């Protein structure tokens, strides 16, 4: 029985958790308050939902070899699911109604500080 795919999957999962952890700390240092991590809605999941002032940011974390790879890995379908999940989050938290929303990507490259790409896509 070949267990190689399970090993790769678990290694990728751990790498993803580590990347999210780094991104959360960087966001906190930049003045964001983390509202949710790995938030699940009916349409999908958002890695990080953070607030800074009157702005709510839905942040997709990508651990990839290059920035280009990270941005290209967020497909239109994934963008749609993240958007729907953020709308669901907003409906479940009416106190956040009226705030501005933004969709960001954070790239974590090998031996690099995470890079925060603001406004990676729009509704």
Find all residues with CB under 8 Å of 82, minimum gap 6, and list them.
44, 46, 58, 60, 103
* Residue 49: CB atoms within 10 Å: 24
> Which CATH number does the domain housing residue 15 bear?
3.40.1350.10
- In terms of residue numbers, what domain contains 55? 4-121
User: What does the pLDDT look like over 70-107, one tens digit per residue?
Assistant: 999 999 999 999 999 999 999 999 999 899 999 999 99
Find all residues with CB under 8 Å of 53, minimum gap 6, and list them.
none
Number of domains making up the chain:
1
Give the chain's mean pLDDT: 92
pTM equals: 0.90
User: What does the pLDDT look like over 8-61, one tens digit per residue?
Assistant: 788 888 888 899 999 999 999 999 999 999 999 999 999 999 999 999 999 999
Find all residues with CB under 8 Å of 78, minimum gap 6, and list them.
44, 60
User: What per-residue confidence (pLDDT) applies to 4?
Assistant: 60
Pairing relationship of beta strands 55-63 and 100-108 according to DSSP bridges: parallel
3-class DSSP assignment, residue 80: helix
């Amino acid at each position: 029985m070949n267990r190689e795919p399970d090993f790769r999957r678990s290694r990728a999962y751990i790498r993803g958790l580590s990347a999210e952890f780094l991104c959360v700390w960087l966001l906190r240092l930049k003045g964001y308050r983390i509202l949710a991590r790995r938030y699940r809605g009916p349409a999908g999941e958002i890695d990080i939902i953070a607030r800074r002032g009157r702005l709510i940011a839905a942040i997709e974390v990508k651990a990839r070899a290059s920035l280009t790879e990270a941005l290209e890995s967020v497909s239109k379908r994934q963008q749609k699911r993240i958007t729907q999940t953020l709308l669901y989050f907003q409906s479940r938290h009416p106190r956040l109604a009226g705030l501005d929303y933004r969709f960001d990507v954070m790239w974590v490259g090998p031996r690099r500080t995470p890079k925060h790409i603001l406004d990676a896509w729009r509704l």
